[in-house]
Amino acid sequence: MSNRNEPEDVVTGKRESSESHGEFLHPDGLYKHEPEPVRYSSETEKDDFRSAQKESAVFDENRRTEQVRSLGRSILRFFIKTVLIVLMIPWVLILVMRWVPPPLSSFMLYQRFTGYTGGIKYEWIEWNDISPAVPLAVIAAEDQRFLEHRGFDFESIRSAWDEHRAGVRTRGASTISQQVAKNLFLWPGKDIVRKGLEGYVTIIIELIWSKRRILEIYINIAEFSPGIYGIGAASEIHFNKLSQHLTFDDAALMAAVLPNPSRLKISSPSSYVLSRRDFIRNQMRKLGGIQLLTALD
């Protein structure tokens, strides 16, 4: 008797026995084919088959390895391009700022986004509208070898290092060029990343800008009191006069607070600030007065 669950031949209409096709009845009621074992006509054919399997496995492994390497190369190329773009940004900005006044500085942005609520006051003043006493006072206070070095005062750096090794409180060795790089493009702090970027940007500044342009930008973006940036805003707020009318004493007092304008005050100077003002005023005379600035023309 034939089993009605056996498959029917669509041509003859006869039901075929499952045994003839190597089929068996699965518990779910469906016929399943048993896999037929691989038969080899000879040992050579068997070895060739195994060799082909190994070659296929090696090929797959090599392909996966190449895919990983390709991904690594893509990531490396992306990283290199990103670094090059980041390194090129200062060149572009500094080149533009050779003629165009900076609309703001990174320190202004940093102060605005770190909780300072006093407001930012900043006004750009052209070089010819600034009293010559101001750049002279800045040089006397911050960087007396400004006209001699190319961005880095190695003599001051060596002196600061010797003081540090001797356990003496180290004085600052940053030049005006370095301070411009920091104030204009970077952030406060002394971490090694910032110092490295500061050195890189300083080199670009010295290559592209003149000494006069470096001084002009420094005077315009320096913070003279909390939230008061640049000689324009500072002279009007603290002296109620235009920057071109500032006297030598005014300029010396303003330069005296530059190391720490949040603690040192122009409006209510401490005895320390007044002593610094007198020292800077004396150094301005020793440097030759405004005659020193003729080297900037």
Structure confidence at residue 19 (pLDDT): 47
Q: CA nearest 130: which of 245, 27, 40?
A: 245
DSSP state of 24: E
| Phi/psi at 99 (5° precision) | -120, -30
Buried b (16+ CB within 10 A) or exposed e, 63-82: eeeeeeeeeeeeeeeeeeee
- pLDDT tens, residue by residue, 26-85: 555 555 555 566 565 666 666 666 777 677 777 777 788 888 888 888 899 999 999 899
For 97, which DSSP code? T
Does the pLDDT of residue 2 top 60, yes or no? no
Within 13 Å, how many C-alpha atoms sit on residue 91's CB side? 5
Assess contact for 146 and 219: CB atoms under 8 A.
Answer: no
- 37: which 2 tokens? 């074992």
Q: Output the pTM of the full model.
A: 0.76
Query: Which of 283, 33, 243 has its CA nearest to residue 126?
Result: 243
Identify the pLDDT of residue 190. Answer: 81
14 or 237, which is more confident? 237
Tell me whether residue 123 is exposed, middle or buried, using C-beta atoms within 10 angstroms of its C-beta: 0 to 12, 13 to 18, 19 or more: middle
pLDDT at position 58 is 72
Structure confidence by residue, pLDDT tens digits, 75-125: 999 999 998 998 999 999 999 999 999 999 999 999 888 878 788 999 999
Lowest model confidence (mean pLDDT) among 93-97, 152-156, 181-185, 224-228: 152-156
Residues contacting residue 16 through CB under 8 Å, at least 6 positions apart: 6, 7, 8, 9
- Stated length of the chain: 297
Q: How far apart are CA 280 and CA 223, in angstroms?
A: 18
